[in-house]
């Protein structure tokens, strides 16, 4: 029996992920943020040519099973490196990024399964002045970026794909075998990324960086998030340390929240519900159902949220969102 699958990561720079001394280069227009990638990717090369992402990692795999034994297998794909556009007035110049060799170790096999892994990434061609923890304490090269993807094929036809490791920056989205967005890296940390002293603590040295992976939010939430971030009234961006409550069940509240980065825990009547990752929109049920929060939300990691007024999103869209957010009912 032949089993096939594929997985793709798209890595991009959202506006809220950049802070500190690097932000002026974006706000002054020398370089640019990226729009969120599409829900479905059909043309990775076209996205690259439109300067729509920083890099992509594509892995396609297959295996032939004789019962539970793998008798043949193969993999291809690899890095699709983007470029950085620098603008000076009306002029723009594109600098090609530098790709590193793909890392694709021999797959691991067991009774009825085989797992493939692939790391792809590189660095931008532009200088990135930054302080590091060892001599010479200042580096001009940009840090390395990467993702490590894994796909497991089973003799019964099942397939599983995941993001096993990634650089702390930029933001990484993962697309499944149907080319639809399925997973996201839960945290984006430009400060930790900028502190990278060299390649030693990267996959091209001696270690990868573990990544907190969360399920992708709904397509409706992705559409509404653009209304919140690009509406006439800009939302208030809040940063919360791990362990902080964003809202408490039963408290009055009339604002909406868009989770930009990090992971939130959800508790209803003392029962923990599935955790939420970047892109989730929260607070709509309080707006629609009497002005009281229906769940307690706690930061399980450092988080950034955009807080917007209730009228930032049409009430009909909020009602559709709330119908899918009755998480406590989905557990029964």
- Quick one: which of 189, 143, 204, 170 has its CA closest to 301? 189
CA 262 from chain centre, in angstroms, equals 10
pTM of the shown model = 0.85
Looking at domain 219-330, what is its CATH homologous superfamily? Answer: Jelly Rolls (2.60.120.10)
Whether 169 contacts 8, CB under 8 Å: no
The model's pLDDT over 55-91, given as tens digits with 9 standing for 90+, comes to 999 999 999 999 999 999 999 999 999 876 666 556 5
Q: Across all residues in the chain, what is the average pLDDT?
A: 87
Find the mean pLDDT for residues 202-218. 87
Find the mean pLDDT for residues 35-49. 92
The model's pLDDT over 130-178, given as tens digits with 9 standing for 90+, comes to 776 766 666 667 889 999 999 999 999 999 999 999 999 999 999 999 9
The model's pLDDT over 85-113, given as tens digits with 9 standing for 90+, comes to 666 556 556 667 789 999 999 999 999 99
Vertex 207, ends 206 and 212: CA angle to 5°?
175
The model's pLDDT over 271-306, given as tens digits with 9 standing for 90+, comes to 999 999 999 999 988 888 888 999 999 999 999 999
**Structural domain spans, the chain:** 2-215, 219-330
Please give the biggest Cα pair distance in the chain.
Answer: 63
Q: Enumerate long-range contacts of 229-236, CB under 8 Å, 24 or more apart.
A: 229/15, 229/16, 229/258, 229/306, 231/308, 231/312, 233/308, 233/309, 233/312, 235/306, 235/307, 235/308, 235/312, 236/306, 236/307, 236/308
Assign residue 36 a region: left if phi > 0, alpha if psi is -120 to 50, beta otherwise? beta
Its sign, for the CA torsion 251, 256, 260, 266, is positive
Vertex 218, ends 39 and 301: CA angle to 5°?
105
The whole-angstrom separation of Cα 250 and Cα 236 is 23
Order of strands across the sheet that contains 69-81? 69-81, 55-66, 2-12, 171-175, 181-185, 213-215
Peptide bond into 136 cis (omega under 30): yes
The whole-angstrom separation of Cα 132 and Cα 283 is 40
Question: What was the pLDDT predicted at 137?
Answer: 66
Question: What was the pLDDT predicted at 202?
Answer: 93
Say how many C-beta atoms besides its own lie within 10 A of residue 318's C-beta.
Answer: 22
Least confident among 122-131, 138-147, 192-201, 303-312: 122-131
Whether 17 contacts 261, CB under 8 Å: yes
Peptide bond into 210 cis (omega under 30): no
């Amino acid at each position: 029996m032949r089993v096939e699958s594929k997985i793709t990561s798209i890595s991009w720079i959202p506006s809220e992920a950049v802070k500190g001394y690097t932000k002026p280069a974006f706000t002054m227009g020398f370089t640019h943020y990226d729009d969120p990638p599409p829900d479905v990717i059909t043309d990775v090369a076209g996205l690259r040519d439109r300067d729509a992402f920083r890099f992509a990692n594509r892995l396609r795999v297959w295996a032939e099973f004789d019962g539970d034994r793998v008798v043949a297998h193969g993999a291809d794909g690899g890095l699709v490196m983007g470029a950085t556009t620098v603008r000076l007035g009306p002029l723009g110049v594109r600098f090609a990024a530098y790709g590193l060799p793909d890392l694709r170790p021999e797959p691991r096999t067991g009774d009825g399964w085989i797992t493939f892994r692939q790391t792809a990434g590189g660095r931008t061609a532009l200088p990135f002045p930054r302080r590091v923890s060892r001599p010479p304490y200042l580096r001009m090269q940009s840090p390395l970026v990467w993702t490590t993807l894994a796909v497991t094929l089973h003799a019964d036809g099942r397939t599983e794909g995941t993001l096993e490791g990634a650089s702390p920056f930029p933001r990484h989205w993962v697309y499944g075998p149907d080319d639809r967005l399925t997973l996201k890296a839960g945290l984006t940390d430009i400060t930790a990324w900028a502190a990278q002293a060299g390649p030693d603590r990267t996959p091209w040295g001696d270690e990868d960086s573990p990544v907190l992976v969360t399920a992708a939010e709904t397509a409706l939430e992705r559409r509404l998030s653009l209304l919140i971030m690009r509406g006439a009234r800009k939302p208030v961006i809040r940063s919360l340390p791990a362990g902080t409550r964003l809202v408490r069940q039963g408290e009055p509240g009339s604002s909406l929240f868009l989770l930009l980065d990090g992971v939130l825990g959800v508790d209803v009547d003392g029962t923990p519900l599935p955790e939420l990752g970047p892109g989730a929109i929260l607070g709509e049920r309080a707006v629609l159902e009497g002005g009281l929060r229906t769940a307690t939300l706690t930061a399980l990691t450092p988080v950034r949220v955009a807080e917007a007024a209730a009228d930032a999103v049409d009430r009909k869209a909020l009602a559709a969102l709330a119908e899918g957010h009755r998480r406590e009912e989905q557990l029964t």
